[in-house]
Chain A
Amino acid sequence: NAGVTQTPKFRILKIGQSMTLQCAQDMNHNYMYWYRQDPGMGLKLIYYSVGAGITDKGEVPNGYNVSRSTTEDFPLRLELAAPSQTSVYFCASSTGLYSYEQYFGPGTRLTVT
C-alpha cells in the first residue's frame, strides 16, 4: 500500500493564480482531511470529508474548496492565491471521523508570492 500520497511536493504560485493540490489514499478510508501547517505551528483543519460526495468545513476554510467524487481522491482547490496561503498542506485519512489515529501524506509546500 502506498498509503496517502500528495502531489505536487513543492509549488510556487503568483498572487491571484489558482491550483489544485492532489491527495489520494489506497486504504479504503471513508474519512479524509486537509490541514495547513504554518511555521512553528500546529495543524489547522481546512476541510474534511466523511465519504464520496460529502464534505464539511473545518477551522480555516476561507479561500479553499474541496470535492470528493471517489473514496480514494480528495483534491483541494485554491482559487485566488494570496500570500496568507503560503504554508505546508497535509492531507490525511482515517477509519473513523473521530478516530484517534490519522494517516498523513508527505505534504505539499506552497509559496505564494
Chain B
Amino acid sequence: GQSLEQPSEVTAVEGAIVQINCTYQTSGFYGLSWYQQHDGGAPTFLSYNALDGLEETGRFSSFLSRSDSYGYLLLQELQMKDSASYFCAVFGNTPLVFGKGTRLSVIA
C-alpha cells in the first residue's frame, strides 16, 4: 500500500519562511506533488518533483529525496493569504494518493 506522513499543523509569522515535510511509503513511485486548499475551497496544484532536488516556483519551492522517501514544501515571504492546508501526494502506478494535509496558520 501507500502511506504519507505530514505534520497536522504549522504556525508561522508573516514574512517568515516555513517548511512542510512529507515522508512516504509507496511502490511504483514516480514523484511527489503538492496541493494547496483554502478553507471551503478546492485543492489546487502547486508543484511537483519527479527527480531529486529543488524545484522553485516563485515564493514556493519543493524538494524531493527519493533515497530518503522524503520531500518538503518551502514557502518564503509568508503572506496572510498563505494560510491554508497543504497536501503532499504521490503519483506513480496508481492515481494520486494524498496525505492528510498540514494546516498552515500565518500570524501577524
Contact = CB atoms under 8 A, between A and B. Distances in A.
Contacts of A98: 30, 91-95
Interface string B30-70: 11010000000111110010100000000000000000000
A27 to B, nearest CB: 13
Interface stretch (A15-23, A38-46, A64-72, A74-82): A38-46
Given A42-B87, A90-B43, A100 B48 contact: yes
A97 B30 CA distance: 12
| Dominant SS among interface residues on chain A | loop
Interface in B67-108: 87, 91-101, 103
Given A43-B87, A45-B95, A58-B95, A102 B45 contact: yes
Contacts of B92: 98
B91 A99 contact: yes
Contacts of A40: 8, 100-101, 103
Interface string A73-113: 00000000000000000100000011111111111000000
A42 B44 CA distance: 13
Size class of B's contact patch? 20 to 34
B48 to A, nearest CB: 4
Interface residues of A, number: 22
B42 A101 contact: no
A58 B92 CA distance: 15
Contact of B100 (A33, A41, A97, A102): A41
Contact of A42 (B50, B95, B99): B99
Nearest to A35: B98
Interface of B: 4, 8, 30-31, 33, 41-45, 48, 50, 87, 91-101, 103
29 contacts: A40-B100, A40-B101, A40-B103, A41-B100, A42-B87, A42-B99, A42-B100, A42-B101, A43-B87, A43-B98, A45-B96, A48-B95, A98-B30, A98-B92, A98-B93, A98-B94, A98-B95, A99-B91, A99-B96, A100-B91, A101-B33, A101-B45, A102-B43, A102-B45, A102-B96, A103-B45, A104-B42, A104-B43, A107-B41
